Structure 1
Amino acid sequence: MSTLLTINVKNLGSSSTSMYFFQKPAIYKGGPIVYTNSLFHELIGSFEETSSILTFKINMQFYAGIQQANTSPKVGECSGYSTASRKIDLKPAKGDAKDFTTAQVDPLGLAVPTKGSGVEPGAFRIKTPIYSPPNRYNVGSAVSANGGIVLSNFVEAYPNTYTDCLPILKFYVQTGTYTPGTVMDFDQSSVDAAECDFTGGHSIIDVTRKNNGTWDTEIIA
């Protein structure tokens, strides 16, 4: 059974605040431009007035994703429309894993993963098929968050190529209204955001938005 990563957020401000969640972009081999989507968004009331706590849960199962797109990604806009995702393993430091999947575009989908060759430890690989313009696709790392699967971060795909993706288990909470699947500027949004680092094997982190606009984070488990 996959582990659930949990972020509990408390708002100590004097009024309700919109907050959104996003993930640190994965490392993509070859250094392409990497785009980030919002994963979840919710309005949370003042704790003093409502006693409410916003809980965000991420399934630690890794997913490969492919998405149809009309244009290049733009901040503030939806990254694409039809999306396919597939559970996939990461290449271990030793041994083999089902870390390689082949995409198809008509219909859109991802094949059952198999053992890849030459995949770096901690990564998975997606092969895109041959296709012609004006078709456009995004490929990358998807996550199951609060019950829905969202393409978390991605690169623009090219025909008949391999994309190697190494996900990073760091998530962020920021004030704002990016709805799930909306492209955001990671560098800008992560400034003064609450960072929740699960890379050390933790599973629960509490986040508090203080009245002065700063954040406190506490590892619970």
Structure 2
Amino acid sequence: MPHTLTIVIRNLSQNKMQFYAFQHPADYKSSGSVLQSSSASLATGAVLPYKSSGSTLQFQFARQPHVAAFSNQAKFAMLVKPQPFASASQTSVVASWPIALTPQDQTKQVPNNTQLTVGSLGLSKPTYTSGISEGSFGIEIPSYTPTGGLKLYCGNGIKIKNTQVVLSSYVTPLPVNHIFCAPKPKFYVKTGDHPVGSSISFSATGAALCDFTNGYSTCNVDYQSDGTFTVHRQ
């Protein structure tokens, strides 16, 4: 199975267009309760009309699930200098690891759980933990005291172009908690310009659905002159 998920966009309108991509929010649970998550843009770019330029816009993401965490405060982050975190947008992810999702055959022991540390922000290398539902991974949250201005997030990370990992969807963890995250291999493309990592309000309305379940690795997206999308998977 290919390791990379690719979205190829053709602009069939008569004007240069800007597009961005984002992922369907992961399902988050803690002690049986459903947690509300936030979403972020994963890619953005502009492309000229295909009929006059032959140009396409490509977004690529790793299929491998990642766990990731971010903090905006220096004492919670392993950073030489604190980095800005305005409007809940992250310019970088402080800690991340590839992680496995619990398989259907739960007798298979895969590295599906990690522990968050907040004294200096980090994530332990994932190991196997029993009791995590199929299609999910776990994040154990230690005791910590939230302080004024602290933004601490963790959740589903996406590796972009085999380089940086961005928090695709994330939650603010409560102290002394065990969070379970179930990512979905579904992405969306919309018109607009949202920088990578910037916070967005998730909405699939008017978007092209790029569904990579069942082994698909490429979604060819055509933006039509009437503002609609068509998608072909392969």
Same fold, TM-score > 0.5, yes or no? yes
Runs of 4+ in 1 over 2 A off after TM superposition: 74-77, 79-83
Structure 1 residues 157 and 26, CA gap change in structure 2 (3 angstroms): same
- Number of the residue aligned with 1:178: 194
Shift of 1:43: 1.1
Write out aligned runs for 1:195-206 (5 A).
195-206=209-220
Matched, 1:48 2:51: yes
The counterpart of 2:222, out of the listed 208, 212, 216, is: 208
Please list the CA deviations of residues 129-159 of structure 1 after superposition, one character each: whole Å capped at 9, or x if unmatched: 2211214311100011223211000111111
The counterpart of 1:133, out of the listed 146, 152, 169, is: 146
Q: Which moved more, 1:95-104 or 1:78-87?
A: 78-87
Shift of 1:4: 0.7
Shift of 1:49: 2.6
Shift of 1:48: 2.2
Letter in 1 for 2:173: A
Matched, 1:149 2:165: yes
Write out aligned runs for 1:61-210 (5 A).
61-69=64-72, 77-79=88-90, 83-94=94-105, 95-134=108-147, 135-146=150-161, 147-187=163-203, 190-210=204-224
| Alignment TM-score, normalising by the size of structure 1 | 0.91
Equivalent residues of 2:22, 2:41 under 8 A apart:
yes
Equivalent residues of 1:125, 1:164 under 8 A apart:
yes
Write out aligned runs for 1:14-33 (5 A).
14-29=14-29, 30-33=33-36
Identity among equivalent pairs (%)? 31
* Partners of 1:15 and 1:77 in 2: CA distance: 32
Shift of 1:182: 0.8
Structure 1 residues 55 and 210, CA gap change in structure 2 (3 angstroms): same
| Alignment TM-score, normalising by the size of structure 2 | 0.86
Consecutive unaligned residues of structure 2, counting only runs of 5 or more, are: 74-84
- Number of the residue aligned with 2:76: none
Consecutive unaligned residues of structure 1, counting only runs of 5 or more, are: none
Number of residue equivalences? 215
RMSD in angstroms over aligned alpha carbons?
2.0
